[in-house]
Amino acid sequence: PAVTPAPSFAPLQVAALERQIFDFLGYQWAPILANFLHIMAVILGIFGTIQYRSKYLMMYAVWLVLWVGWNAFIICFYLEVGRLSQDRDFIMTFNTSLHRSWWMENGPGCLVTPVMNSNLAPEDHHVITVSGCLLDYQYIEVVSSATQIFLALFGFVYACYVSKVFLEEEDSFDFIGGFDSYGYQAPQKTSHLQLQPLYT
């Protein structure tokens, strides 16, 4: 096939790895699990493209629909749409810790100041104040998820197109040069053996 789609997966890989790294740094276990599944799906999509397997590309396209839904949820979570609340819900850490996004303390221009002797801190934790951020961490997470949605939509269209091309080529593939076009005929069975004279 004339299709060379493998390089188009590079932005998807880079974006998924970048997301995984920052979620690891922030101990965000739910996004880490989702990112891991997404990386596996991207690998599946690459394999399906290189091996010309349209079924793998279709599975990848289905995953991208789920991926768009997950990133839409993250956007709603950080913008606190509806009943979602970052102060009350610790969905991203599976309610196992009070960790927040890595960008909360490490965003551009952020100045972190520990609050000493605070009664608000749970046991084994400390309270900090974050000020001076050029962009709040919520919006960094929203921009990251919006980027993932944009890439997923591009990947979905691309996976559907490439799988369609592969299916069309499978349907039009002509085995052994085409039986009809060259007038190929199967050997005829004979009911008796034809004996040839033997000269000595």
pLDDT for position 193: 56
Phi/psi for 127 (5° steps) reads: -105, 140
Q: Residue 2 has what pLDDT?
A: 47
Among 11-20, 26-35, 89-98, 146-155, where is mean pLDDT lowest?
89-98
Q: Write the CB contacts of 156 (distance below 8 Å, at least 6 apart in sequence).
A: 61, 64, 65, 68
108 or 195: which leads in pLDDT: 108
In DSSP terms, 127 is beta-bridged to: 115
pLDDT at 179: 47
Whether the CB-CB separation of 171 and 1 falls below 8 Å is answered with: no
Rg (CA), the chain: 29
Phi-psi region of 177 (alpha: psi -120 to 50; beta: other; left: phi over 0): left
User: For the packed helices 54-78 and 29-50, what is the interaxial angle rounded to 10 degrees?
Assistant: 160
Residue 4 banded pLDDT, cuts 50, 70, 90: very low
Question: pTM for this structure?
Answer: 0.73
What is the percent of the chain with per-residue pLDDT over 70, rounded to a whole number?
72
Looking at residue 65, what is its pLDDT? 95
pLDDT given at position 8:
59
Tokens representing 154 are 């591009």
Query: Any idea where the domains of the chain sit in the sequence?
Result: 12-80+138-176
